[in-house]
Amino acid sequence: MREKIFRDSVHNDIVITERVIYELINTKEFQRLRRIKQLGTTGYTFHGGEHSRFSHCLGVYDITRRIVQRFNTTYPHIWKSEDSLLAMTAALLHDIGHGAYSHTFERLFDTDHEQVTRQIITSPETDIHQVLCKVSLDFPEKVASVIGHTYPNKQVEELISSQIDADRMDYLLRDSYFTGVSYGQFDLTRILSIIQPLKNGIAFAHSGLHAVEDYLIRRYQMYMQVYFHPASRAMEVLLQNLFKRAKVLYPEHKDYFRMTSPNLIPFFERRYDLNDYLRLDDGVMNAYFQLWMTSSDKILADLASRFINRKVFKSVTFDEEHKDRLDDLRECLTAVGFDADYYSAVHYNFDLPYDIYRPTAKKPRTEISIIEKNGAIAELSTLSPLVSSLTGSTHGDRRFYFPKEMLNTGDLFNLDKQAFQQQIKNGHFNPKDR
């Protein structure tokens, strides 16, 4: 095949040399990713963050392609060249099962994007599957096993899913570029020149230790500054409450939802198949929300309108030990006429920036290995005090969300945010205080 080039804002030229990769990009399932934003509601906070999963998937493919190319020429005795196409394909397809507003939708409708990813790859009815079968009949299963973490050669899996993999490397650079914040810009070129295959995994040369350190610090910064931003999470909880309201109304108002939001019916009725799932994207959802804005149900209409017009909820942080006192706050909402089920929410966001291998952990992590000058292999945090200080510790916060009208700007309560927060701590918040 003649080389195909996709111009890309992060990697400049993304080169496609394999026909199968090009055909996969042209399937309807992959083209659908153009209609799904990579960052979901984060674009409401960082307005440049409107890029699609399509561009991210191409980026992950490109980083993987550059790595396996180097492995093929520099480490032919450790890297099996026949795994190159498999690694590039799994990289390209790793997010194929993501849906519109994935994480919120999954919580409300019990879908699972990783499972859908494997389903799209292995189900004979998809175009993706048909293209993969042209490589070999067992190729779809192989790709699915890389994504399901069961492929025997761990080198391939770690390229796509580990603490420093092609997926994370692309999203940090891409999200940082499009959101306009610089925290995510690490030295990709350097990392790609020190990455090496090991017998059963991947490692990084000691000479590039600082580039790896820098990558982890920037990843940490992006989580704290961008991914966990309170306003993006406010849009997420708004969306969650909106879906919740629609779900509750559906049984009594089937005709209304058939008319305004037909593609959601299989999910309300909990009998969806793969095709139903693939019919949803950001545009479809946003059109439904606009139609719901005129619903005769005041809560549905109001939440939809708040979402479309970005009228975000406000929030305060709270400690786990004060969790019980949130009930008082919910009571306050009720006292002024807000239904607390739909006009408040609790949102937790925590991240583990780096961890060593702990066999007993719920999801044990593959640690980052560094190859020292004498050939010995060491775990990263034993060599870097900086990384060691981040290791094993979680960062993030819990927030209680409520309508802006509850603050003094909205006249309902003569309280500012600090006072609100203090009330949670003191635990004597009650409707009479206002």
From 42-50, 65-73, 162-170, 173-181, give the range in contact with Ca ion by CB under 5 A: 162-170
Planar angle of CA 273, 277, 282, nearest 5 degrees: 170
Q: Report the residue number, 171 or 228, with the smaller CB distance to Ca ion.
A: 171
Q: Report the residue number, 95 or 302, with the smaller CB distance to Ca ion.
A: 95
**CB of 226: closest distance to Ca ion in angstroms?**
15
Q: Report the residue number, 168 or 399, with the smaller CB distance to Ca ion.
A: 168
Q: Report the residue number, 62 or 167, with the smaller CB distance to Ca ion.
A: 167
Helix (H) or strand (E) holding 272: none
Check: CB of residue 126 under 8 Å from CB of residue 120. yes
Cα separation, 85 vs 343, in Å, equals 49
Locate all alpha helices (DSSP H) within 261-398, ordered by sequence: 265-268, 274-278, 282-292, 298-308, 326-335, 340-343, 380-383, 385-390
**CB of 15: closest distance to Ca ion in angstroms?**
20
**CB of 59: closest distance to Ca ion in angstroms?**
9
Cα separation, 130 vs 39, in Å, equals 29
The DSSP letter of residue 273 is: -
Rule CB under 5 A: is residue 405 a binding residue for Ca ion?
Answer: no
Q: Report the residue number, 167 or 213, with the smaller CB distance to Ca ion.
A: 167
Using a 10 angstrom Cβ sphere, with 0-12 exposed, 13-18 middle and 19 or more buried, the burial of residue 324 is exposed
**CB of 57: closest distance to Ca ion in angstroms?**
7
Cα separation, 301 vs 59, in Å, equals 39
**CB of 171: closest distance to Ca ion in angstroms?**
6
> Strand order of the sheet with strand 314-317?
314-317, 395-402, 345-351
**CB of 37: closest distance to Ca ion in angstroms?**
13
Cα separation, 240 vs 233, in Å, equals 10
Strand partners, 404: none
Q: Which of residues 260-299 bind Ca ion (CB under 5 A)?
A: none
Q: Report the residue number, 168 or 245, with the smaller CB distance to Ca ion.
A: 168
Size, binding site for Ca ion by CB under 5 A = 2
**Nearest residue to Ca ion, using CB?**
167
Q: Please pick, from the candidates 23, 29, 157, 167, the single residue that binds Ca ion as defined by CB under 5 A.
A: 167
Rg (CA), the chain: 24
Beta strands 369-371; 201-205: pairing state:
parallel
Per-residue contact string for residues 113-152; x = within reach of Ca ion by CB under 5 A: ----------------------------------------
Q: Which of residues 295-334 bind Ca ion (CB under 5 A)?
A: none
Q: Which of residues 88-117 bind Ca ion (CB under 5 A)?
A: 95
Which residues contact Ca ion by CB under 5 A?
A: 95, 167
